[in-house]
Amino acid sequence: MSPIEPNAVPSTLTIPAGTVLEDAARSMTEAQVEEADIVDGSGERIGRLDMRRTISAMVAPSPHRAEAEPDHRSAVASTNLFR
């Protein structure tokens, strides 16, 4: 998840905080969007999730690329939004 820029246009899809990554990816796929806004219980936008980071968080890196690329799973998991 990344922060929402102050002047960002809202995404056409919102996903509640706490949603499992697989469900978020499924929702974005079904809506045919690359990004979704994460909303809290009151519906306020608290972040934005993009498909690339979602997939990166769900898939273990291949052995030959594991050392060359950062682990995006920890970045997404550290937000506590999907636990």
Give this prediction's pTM: 0.66
User: Residue 7 above 70 pLDDT?
Assistant: yes
| 56 inside domain | yes
The closest of 61, 63, 62, 16 to 74, measured between CA atoms, is 61
46 inside domain: yes
Q: pLDDT tens across 15-74, in order?
A: 999 999 999 999 999 999 999 999 999 999 999 999 998 888 888 777 765 555 555 444
Assign residue 63 the CATH number of its domain: 3.10.580.10
49 forms beta bridges with 36
Number of domains in the chain: 1
Asked if residue 40 belongs to a domain, the reply is yes
Per the structure, the complete domain to which residue 65 belongs is given by 14-77
Would 61 be classed as within a structural domain? yes
Residues 6+ apart with CB under 8 A from 75: 53, 57
Q: How confident is the model at residue 75 (pLDDT cuts 50, 70, 90)?
A: very low
Q: What pLDDT score was predicted for residue 27?
A: 95
